[in-house]
Amino acid sequence: MADIKYTDDHEYLSIEGDVATVGITKHAQEQLGDVVFVELPEVGKAVAKGDEAAVVESVKAAAEVYAPVSGEVVEANGDLEGNPGLVNEDPEGGAWFMKIKISDKSELDGMMDADGYAKFVAEQG
């Protein structure tokens, strides 16, 4: 079973072994509105925690998706390039952005679980 973590940048990580599947949360998608374009990282790209890793554009705004952990991009969700609207339909499922092989699992420390993230969103108002 995957371990799910959340960041205060409204990204989720579904962690299995040393690979994190990364996407934006349902809350982030709701804030963006209808997603019309997604730019994904190249497979093999090295990313550092906090670096811009992808871009998502909606009818309202463009937003960066930051790498929540350091590592190597081992897969990008090609389905999104042809159909960015998947992000509107299934942000925390089939519309993941990238998979990152985690180089330092200690970077997961301090990330929120589902209950912590729900409280964080509620406090944001």
Tokens encoding 46: 């090295």
| pTM higher than the cut 0.85 | yes
pLDDT in tens, the chain (125 residues): 679 999 999 999 999 999 999 999 999 999 999 999 999 999 999 999 999 999 999 999 999 999 999 999 999 999 998 999 999 999 999 999 999 999 999 999 999 999 999 999 999 87
CB atoms within 10 A of CB 63: 18
CATH code assigned to 3-116: 2.40.50.100
Determine the Cα–Cα distance for residues 26 and 12; give it in Å rounded to an integer: 10
Q: Domain ranges in the chain?
A: 3-116
What is the DSSP secondary structure assignment for residue 51, as one 8-state letter?
S
